[in-house]
């Protein structure tokens, strides 16, 4: 298992985008974009250049990117079993949870089933939901009841309770997100015990970043009270513990939150302005750590997870470039929109 997965991850690592290659894609002629994407192992995106002008169909761009991620994850899963297979499979479930959100919003707006079905992310062999059945549920309550009888019952149960209390779409989405990531941490724990520091470090970067950014958004963008903010965060045993998060949620400004962080965090976030700046700094740290794990002798499952983190970061950047080209933005504006800090490739 390890030999196959290690080899596959090493081959996939060659597909990651150096920053100069991404910059070249911004200014590449339309005629060569599809070939460039193919050379980078992105056939799903290259196939989107179908019209005479050679421009990507923006309506399917997100679906094509996710299809690429699912294809590569499927290959990595072939030799896996037990907790490693369970973790990577559940890692893909966040895309299906996104479909759940889309289905729920469609019921709130009385959208036609055919229209919402066209917008759902095709999950292929990873799909566990009967989208046709769910799209034809009578209303939100009926949809939640059907979902609660399905494979994501534990995630949906918390969301249903939150919605019944407030009938607020935001509370519904936030409860789904929290329950998903808490499920991910449960599936990560056996691997943290057996694989050790490389895998645990990747999870800590992920969950700590999610919790801090959510805390800042909920507290200062949405003006939620500290108790509600804390309730919506992911239960954590990583660097930002529950007690620390509760203390941070009680602060009355972004600056106060940053000042209350541990010293190592303050160093990392020094000079960050605004919530997007905090997110960018933390994502940068996560990418650097993932790159170290990818190019280390860490166990295969840790290297695979590191690759998937970096690959998704790359694909978000490629998406920004392709979307900018589709909109006809000048190259300088596309480069500014990327807001991607380089990481050192080894």
pLDDT tens digits in sequence order for the chain, 346 residues long: 588 999 999 999 999 988 888 889 998 998 888 888 888 888 878 876 654 344 445 457 888 899 999 999 999 999 999 999 999 999 999 999 999 999 999 999 999 999 999 999 999 999 999 999 999 999 998 999 999 999 999 999 988 887 888 778 888 999 999 999 999 999 999 999 999 999 999 999 999 999 999 999 999 999 999 999 999 999 988 999 999 999 999 999 999 999 999 998 988 898 888 999 999 999 999 999 999 999 999 999 999 999 999 999 999 999 889 888 888 888 888 888 776 766 654 4
Contacts of 102 (CB under 8 A, 6+ apart): 116, 119, 120
Largest Cα separation within the chain, whole Å, is 58
φ, ψ (nearest 5 deg) of residue 207: -70, -40
pTM, full prediction: 0.92
Query: For 222, which DSSP code?
Result: S
Angle, in degrees to the nearest 10, between helices 197-216 and 300-326: 40
Contacts 24+ apart (CB under 8 A), 252-260: 253/220, 254/216, 254/220, 254/278, 257/215, 257/216, 257/219
Are residues 281 and 209 in contact, defined by beta-carbon separation less than 8 angstroms?
no
Name the nearest CA neighbour of 12 among 316, 325, 315. Answer: 315
């Amino acid at each position: 298992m390890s030999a196959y997965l290690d080899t596959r991850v090493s081959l996939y690592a060659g597909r990651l985008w150096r920053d100069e290659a991404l910059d070249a894609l911004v200014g590449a002629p339309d005629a060569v974009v599809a070939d460039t994407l193919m050379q980078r192992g992105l056939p799903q995106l290259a196939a989107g250049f179908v019209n005479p002008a050679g421009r990507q169909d923006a309506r399917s761009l997100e679906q094509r990117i996710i299809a690429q991620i699912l294809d590569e994850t499927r290959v990595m899963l072939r030799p896996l079993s037990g907790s490693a297979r369970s973790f990577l499979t559940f890692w893909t479930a966040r895309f299906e949870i996104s479909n759940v959100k889309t289905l729920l919003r469609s019921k709130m707006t009385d959208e036609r089933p055919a229209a919402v079905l066209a917008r759902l992310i095709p999950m292929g062999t990873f799909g566990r939901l009967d989208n046709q059945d769910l799209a034809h549920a009578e209303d939100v309550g009926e949809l939640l009841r059907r979902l609660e009888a399905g494979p994501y019952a534990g995630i949906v149960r918390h969301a249903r309770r939150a919605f019944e209390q407030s009938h607020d779409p935001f509370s519904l989405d936030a409860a789904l997100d929290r329950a998903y990531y808490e499920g991910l941490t449960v599936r990560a724990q056996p691997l943290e015990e057996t694989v050790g520091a490389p895998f645990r470090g990747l999870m800590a970067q992920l969950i700590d970043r999610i919790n801090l950014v959510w805390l800042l958004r909920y507290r200062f963008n949405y003006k939620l009270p500290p108790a509600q903010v804390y309730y919506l965060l992911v239960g954590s045993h990583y660097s930002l513990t529950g007690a620390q998060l509760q203390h941070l949620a009680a602060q009355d400004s972004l600056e106060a939150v940053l000042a209350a962080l541990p010293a190592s965090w303050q160093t990392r976030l020094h000079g960050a302005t605004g919530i997007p700046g905090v997110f960018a700094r933390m994502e940068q740290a996560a990418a650097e750590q993932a790159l170290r794990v990818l190019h280390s002798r860490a166990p295969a499952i840790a290297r695979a997870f590191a690759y998937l983190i970096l690959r998704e970061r790359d694909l978000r950047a490629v998406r920004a470039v392709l979307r900018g080209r589709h909109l006809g933005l000048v190259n300088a504006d596309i480069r500014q929109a990327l807001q991607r800090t380089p990481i050192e490739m080894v």
